[in-house]
Amino acid sequence: MREASSTGAGLRDHFLLFSRFLRSPRTVGALTASSRALAEAMVTGLDHGQSRHIVELGPGTGALTGAIVDRLGTDSRFLAIDIDPRFVQQIRKRWPDVECVCASAERVDALAAERSMTPVDHIVSGLPFVSLPLPMTREILASIGRALRPGGTFTTFQYVHGYRLPSAVAFRARMNALMGSTPHRYLVVRNFPPALVLTWTKGTDQVRS
């Protein structure tokens, strides 16, 4: 049985995230950890009884990880993937039962398959797609498409101030094509900065490539 975990971010989390942002701004993409309100909005669609295979991309300091842990069912399996070893170390220390691997999200389908977790029911992402190199983004999205089951969901967020940027618009267009659907949007004002949570449901006619 997993213990419930607070999703609130402490000063250490903010400091760690800020320091990693200064080191690698394109792959971290945020100056501060996500708020409790944003974390809860990101996991609203996770069902205790039916969410068996859940993957988190870019857990960072664990602001979303704790909210996911709180919603895991007894038969659920949860895989967290981060490219930064400092973040992976922190996740493993805080939640020893969470399987967290240091790897690129470009391999999400392979990493899930190696653990007999495909097809994946839900993928939750804190990755800064707007700032990632385009070839990397394309590889990650292709891998998501292969890993996720029809009817499964992909959830991410975009900050309100950057929602209209060409890179943000292009990302949403690529996701629409990949998932065969448009996202459900939910505004979270209790976050710095405010953010829109976006959830796509993979169409039943979308095949795994």
For the chain, give every domain's residue range.
11-201
Alpha-helical (H) ranges within the chain are 11-23, 25-28, 36-42, 63-69, 85-94, 108-114, 134-147, 166-179
| Residue 49 burial (C-beta neighbours within 10 Å; 0-12, 13-18, 19+) | exposed
Question: Residue 90: which region, alpha, beta or left (left: phi > 0; alpha: psi -120 to 50)?
Answer: alpha
Find out whether 42 and 197 touch, Cβ atoms under 8 Å.
Answer: yes
Would you give per-residue pLDDT tens digits along the chain (209 residues)?
344 444 444 445 544 444 444 455 444 445 456 789 999 999 998 876 678 999 999 998 898 999 999 999 888 999 999 999 999 999 999 999 999 999 999 999 999 999 999 999 999 999 989 889 999 999 999 999 999 999 999 999 999 999 999 999 999 999 999 999 999 999 999 998 899 999 999 998 765 55
Other CB atoms within a 10 A radius of the CB of residue 101 amount to: 16
Characterize the bridge pairing of strands 77-82 and 99-102.
parallel
Please give the CATH topology (third level) of the domain spanning 11-201: Rossmann fold (3.40.50)
Q: From CA 129, how far away is CA 167, in angstroms rounded?
A: 8
Q: pTM (2 decimals)?
A: 0.84
